[in-house]
Every structure is written in structure tokens, then in C-alpha cells.
Copies of this chain bind each other. A is one copy, B any other.
Amino acid sequence: MRRKKIKKRTQEYKKHVGQIPGTLVYTGQKSDKDFHVECFDYTKDTIEESVLLNIADAISYKETDSVTWINVDGLKHTDQIENIGKQYDLHPLVLEDIVNTTQRPKIDEYEDYLFVVLKMLYYDKDENIVIEQVSFVLGKNYVITFQESEGDVFDSIRERLRFANGRIRGLKSDYLLYALIDAVVDNYFSIIETLGNKIEDLETELFEGHARENINIEVQQLKREILKVRRAIFPLREIINRIEKGDHPLIYKRTITYYRDIYDHLIQVSENIDIYREMIWSLMDMYMTTISNKMNEVMKVLTIMSTIFIPLTFLAGIYGMNFEYIPELKYRYGYFVLLGVMVLLFIALLFYFKRKKWL
């Protein structure tokens, strides 16, 4: 299959035209990172942590009663992914969705597992928002997570598992899925906070009147960023709602309360994003008003200068004429009288502008 160079700028969803459904094609930036499988197998009292280089080693955990978290990094190795798919009986379309990183957040319920795709957001070192797709497969006693590359927001979960903090070790795989999604959603709050600060900085600049020339470009870029975050976060609400409302046998009643908590957080995040959108619109409005006000000021200066000096110049022009008989020219104090008239006119015009509140 021919593969054209993929442009990775605005649009993030694509699909390879004409391929057979269920073909695995990795659509992300193909980093050269090695394939990497991390494994946590725990019960209330025991925990076993291991790093596997081959997915086949993971299958032993499938049959045990303990809860297993298998974290797969590096979606480029599609053969390995296919391997996992076979071992855990995943539908071909699930595998296709895992490696297609342009997926919209979604949930698919299968008979003996749940498949959830969502977006992990973080700022990279250049302060750009990075969107990384994370897929979750929740089975009876396991959760498999698939990430594009190493580095994630799950370190606090690892700590809690290792040191048996909180409830996590004592509960089932559905609570583990909750904890992982919660970690992703928690991170949205810091994205939101950064966006909020950026908006406020722009706003302050505009309020104080010394906005840079290209501030409207920055506003547009912020608008786009918010659009991007919105698109990554909004579909998640519906997903969590379906987990909460649906009665999939893998989700125990006890954990529903926790999912509802995530849902509340998502509503908060969404509400903030919508407020930011409205604020961005206000910013654009303010910018336009600022431009208009500046133009007004420029026009006033021009008008004041012209209106004062054009008549004066006319007067000077009159007495610059070469007519043979212009009686005023002969008067001894004609010049001084004229200068006096000019000063009076000058003052009168200033007064006029003062009254019009242009000065």
C-alpha cells in the first residue's frame, strides 16, 4: 500500500484510503523508541512489577486471579500489538483503533472487555500542547494501556500500587481503570490553568492599552489551542457517562461513585473551556475596539492640526499676494495686527476643540 507523506499540522484525523478494515497502520510520528511493556500484577497483599521485552511473556498473568496492569509503549511495532490482540481475543477494529492515533475519544463495549480511547494532554518544553492518544482495554482482571511513547501521567498510580496507598490495591481492575483515567483528567486541570493564565496576560495587555502589533495573531493561536483541547476533552464526558450509566458487568456498583466524580471534573473542565472561548471572543472585540480608538486618536491629531493651521496659512497667503493696491500692507502695524488676529483665532480654535473634548 502506497503511503503518502502525512502532514501533521491542523487536521489530526485521517485514515488510509482503500485499506482493508482491520489493517493495522500506525499514524503517529514514528519515533524510533523500542517497544516496551511494563507489568504490574497485584493483590491486596502482594505486588509484582516487571518490564517485558516480548508481549508473549504477559500472557501468564491473564489466567491468575490477581489484577494485572499491562502498559504498552511504542505503537509502531504493529506486529507486537497484533500479538496482544490475539492473546487477549481483541476485535481487529479495536487493534486498528489502537494504532490509529487520530482516533476521536470513544468507548466500545464488547462482551468480555471494554475498550476506551482518550487523549492525554501535556505541555512540552516549548510550551506547545501535546496530544497523545492512550487506549485502555479493561478485562475481567486486567487493564491494558497503549501509549504512543514513553512518559505519561501515571507515575502517581505506580507509587500508589507499589506502596499500597489508598484503596487501589484492595479493589478490582475497574478501580484501576478509574485511577488511570482520573490521572489523565487531573492533568487537564493544569492545561486549563495554563490556558487561563495566557488569556489573562493578553487581557491585561489589552486593558492597559499597550498591546503589541501582532497581538491578534496570538489571540487567534490561543483560540486554535482552545479548540484543540476542546476537541480532545469534550467527547470524554459522554464516555464516562456511558460507563457510569451503562451496566457493563465489568464495572462494579461500588466504583460508579468514583466515575461520577471524574464526570464532575470533566464538567468543570468543559465549563472552563467554554468560558475561555467566550473570553477569547471578548478579547477580539476589545482588540477591534482598541484599533478603532487608536484610529480615532490619530484622526483627531490630524484634524486639530489641519483645522488650526489651514485657515492661518490662508491668511498669510492673502497678504503674500502681489496686488499693487492692498491697503492693509501699507499700515505701519498691519503685520502686528494680523499676528494678533492669528493668535486670537488660534486660541478660539483650541477652545472649540476643548469644548468638543478632543483635547
Contact = CB atoms under 8 A, between A and B. Distances in A.
Contacts of A330: 324
Contact of A231 (B207, B275, B294): B275
Nearest to A305: B307
A167 to B, nearest CB: 8
A55 interface: no
B17 A186 contact: yes
B93 A155 contact: no
In this complex, the member of A217, A271, A321 whose beta carbon has the largest number of chain B beta carbons within 10 angstroms is A321
Given A104-B271, A296-B294, A309 B314 contact: yes
A310 B156 CA distance: 71
Contacts of A225: none
A22 interface: yes
Interface of A: 7, 9-11, 13-22, 91, 93, 102-104, 106, 108, 153, 155-156, 160, 165-168, 179, 182-183, 186-187, 189-190, 192-193, 196-197, 199-200, 207, 210, 213, 216-217, 220, 223-224, 227, 231, 257-258, 260-261, 264-265, 267-269, 271-272, 275, 278-279, 282, 284-289, 291-296, 298-303, 305-307, 309-314, 316-326, 328-335, 338-339, 357-358
B282 A220 contact: yes
27 contacts: A16-B186, A18-B183, A20-B160, A20-B165, A20-B168, A21-B258, A93-B257, A93-B261, A103-B264, A220-B285, A223-B282, A295-B299, A296-B298, A298-B303, A299-B303, A302-B302, A305-B307, A309-B310, A310-B313, A316-B317, A316-B320, A317-B320, A321-B338, A323-B335, A324-B329, A324-B332, A325-B335
